[in-house]
Amino acid sequence: MHLLETQTVCQRFGSFRALNDVNLCVAPRCVHALIGPNGAGKSSLMNVLAGAVAPASGKVLFKDRDVTAMPVHRRALLGIGRSYQVVKLFEGLTCQQVAEIAVQRDLPSWRWLMTSSRAHIQAKARALLESAGLAVYADVETNTLAHGIQKRLEIALAVANDAQLLLLDEPMAGLTAHERVELATLIRSLAQRSAVVFVEHDMDMVMSLADRISVLHNGELIAEGTPDEIRADETVQRIYLHRERHDA
């Protein structure tokens, strides 16, 4: 059974075709990487999956439901989470306060004011921070956190309401080697209950973290498989070898 599926998705920007008949399948509780050279269509596909933009043609299915025309906030209610730079959105708030906002966003507004609900929200927010190893930072303002801690907070908030699918665009960017290991551990932990689709340029991290890998090139999905299968794929080798020679 597929949790997420795209059917012949195309995306155009004027005369430029960013995505061309992309058929992607993501299984439940799978860590699925999207890789490819710059301009391959990775970000365009992530935006289509999240609902930030609608495809020019084709369909997006989530749990066999057609969500092609659904905007981001409606997909979030169905269980699709995406990380954002929360420090810019909530500067001056503590991690606990931001977590409380995240866990109550699906509640009716009248429940926010109930004492019993407030206690439940605070406890749920603390549990969320603990699940990401961030409880020690509960009373720390988000804008004072180290970059790696901010990343972990962003990802934790994206699954605050039990999201079944998490979309991450270059989660390892700007992190130290130690921070990358910590974030990879968090992603693997989240995959016990949620599927994770991520874009990443660090091939060592992709190969060690992903269960499945899809390769995009010039807007087309040219290969899909396990890390070992992708390593052995001659088309993928040729594209990346050509890029390395070009960059050199």
pLDDT for 140-180, tens place per residue? Answer: 999 999 999 999 999 999 888 789 999 999 999 889 999 99
Question: How many residues belong to the chain?
Answer: 248
How high is the pLDDT of residue 209? 97
Q: What is the mean pLDDT of the chain?
A: 89
- Comparison of pLDDT for 92 and 58, the residue scoring more: 58
Q: Are 216 and 34 in contact (CB under 8 A)?
A: yes
> What is the pLDDT at residue 87?
64
As a whole number, mean pLDDT of residues 93-120 equals: 74
CA distances from 161 to 49, 74, 100, 164, 195 (A): 18, 13, 11, 9, 14
Q: Are 58 and 49 in contact (CB under 8 A)?
A: no
pLDDT of residue 68: 98
For the domain 1-79+163-179+197-248, what is the CATH superfamily, name and number? P-loop containing nucleotide triphosphate hydrolases (3.40.50.300)
**pLDDT for 110:** 44
The pTM for the full model equals 0.88
- Please check the confidence at residue 114 and state whether its pLDDT lies above 60: no
Helix (H, G, I), strand (E, B) or coil at 9: strand
What's the pLDDT score for residue 240?
A: 72
Residue 190 confidence (pLDDT): 92
Residue 86 binned pLDDT confidence (cut-offs 50, 70, 90): low
In DSSP terms, 22 is beta-bridged to 9
- How far apart are alpha carbons 12 and 9 in whole angstroms? 10
Asked if 206 and 213 count as a contact pair (C-beta separation under 8 A), the reply is yes
DSSP secondary structure letter of residue 23: -
Q: Based on C-alpha coordinates, what's the Rg of the chain? A: 19
pLDDT-derived band at 248 (thresholds 50, 70, 90) equals: very low
Q: Is the pLDDT of residue 37 over 60?
A: yes
Q: Where in the chain is the domain with CATH 3.40.50.300?
A: 1-79+163-179+197-248
